[in-house]
Amino acid sequence: MSIMNELRRGAFIDMIKTGKRLTDRDFYEYRDIEVKKGVLATADGSALARIGDTQVLASVKFTVGEPYPDRPDEGVFITNAELVAFANPSYEPGPPNEDAIELARVVDRGIRSSEIIDLKSFYLEEGKVLMMFIDLWILDDQGNLSDTSALAAMGALLNTKLPKYEDGELVREGDLENLKLSNIVTEHTFGKVADKTFIDPMLDEEIAAEGKITFGVMDDKIVTVQKSGWQSFTKDEVFSLMDIAFKKHSELKSILTK
């Protein structure tokens, strides 16, 4: 099967040299995007995000936990990603691999560095805080898991309801308050091959990409960057891609707040 991957890579490189992508897309155009919020009844917040055929389910769930010793009045959150085995023919079941771990950490950094959640609001009482789990369940991988996961996570946070804290337990009955977010963060990933860059790589484009760069954006600020793959980017490329990321941020933000 590796020969087929080689052929696909070759086919894409041929096309990109003639200024075309694998489907009729512009170089800086996203595939069709959809975000559905509140899809899981058992979670405190949830969303299913889709970019093209890539589908990622995000869940937000709270539990009572202990704060970090150096920040006793702040809550805690943990982001975890699981690449489910049927999401891509090359996945094998087992402990999280380096791709899943990198993915979770990049989405996490977008939310954490932007400080859109006031962790002090998670304080419950002495030695007890809300611990928030963001689970990213990758169900269908057709390329660009980063941006899809970031959308799913943001969508889930946007419909998260805070449980009430009564007698040392979390209660989820009655009217619950929404989790307060001071802003919205989106992520934008570009691939690079044969000196050409393109946004939102689909699977065959991702396989061929020599380098990738992801920007986390909030309004006109960059809140996180991740470059991966062996290929380098020039400073000029970085600045022009940043500009495109800012533009795309408004598009994706309006999809999230629809």
Partner 1 sequence: MDTVYPGLQLDKSMYGQPYTYSENGKVYSNVFGMLRNDKIVPLQGQYDPKRGDIIIGVVNEEKFSGYSVYINLPSEGSLSSRDSREELETGDVIECEVDYVNEIKQVSLTNPKKLGFGSVMIIPPVKVPRVIGKQMSMINLIKEKTGCDIRMGKNGILWINDCKNKPIVIKTINKILREAQFSGLTSRIGEFLDKEIKNKE
Partner 2 sequence: MEKPDKLIVNGKRLDGRGVDDLRPISIHAHVLSNADGSALIRWGNNLVLAGVRGPRECFPRHMADPFKAIIRAKYEMTPFSSKEEHGRSGPNRRSIEISKLIRHVFENVVLLEKYPKSQIDIFIEILQSDGGTRCAAITAASVALADAGIPMKDMVQAVAVGKVNDEIVLDLNYIEDSASDGADVPIAVAGRNKDILLFQMDGILDKSQFEEVFSKVFKAADKIKELQTKALEEVYFATEKGEVKKRLPLY
Q: Which residues bind partner 2 (CB under 8 A)?
A: 1, 36, 39-43, 46, 48, 50, 53, 55, 57, 59, 61-63, 80, 82, 84-89, 92-93, 95, 133, 135, 137, 139-142, 170
Cβ distance to partner 2 smaller for residue 129 or 241: 129
What residues contact 139, with CB distance under 8 A and at least 6 apart? 55, 56, 57, 84, 86, 87
6's contact among partner 2, partner 1, none, with CB below 5 to 8 A by partner kind, is partner 1
Roughly how many angstroms between the first and final C-alpha of the chain, as a whole number? 42
207's contact among partner 2, partner 1, none, with CB below 5 to 8 A by partner kind, is none
3's contact among partner 2, partner 1, none, with CB below 5 to 8 A by partner kind, is partner 1
Smallest gap, in angstroms, from Cβ of residue 112 to partner 2?
19
Q: Which helix H or strand E contains 156, and what residues bound it?
A: helix 145-158
Task: Assign 35 to helix, strand or coil.
Answer: strand
Work out the burial of residue 213: count CB atoms within 10 Å of its CB; fewer than 13 is exposed, 13-18 middle, 19 or more buried: buried
User: Which residues are 189's β-sheet partners?
Assistant: 214
Cβ distance to partner 2 smaller for residue 87 or 217: 87
Of positions 9, 13, 20, 131, contacts partner 1 by CB under 8 A:
20
Maximum CA pair distance of the chain? 66
Task: Assign 237 to helix, strand or coil.
Answer: helix
- Site membership for partner 1, residue 19 (CB under 8 A): no
List of residues contacting partner 1 (CB under 8 A): 1-4, 6-7, 11, 20
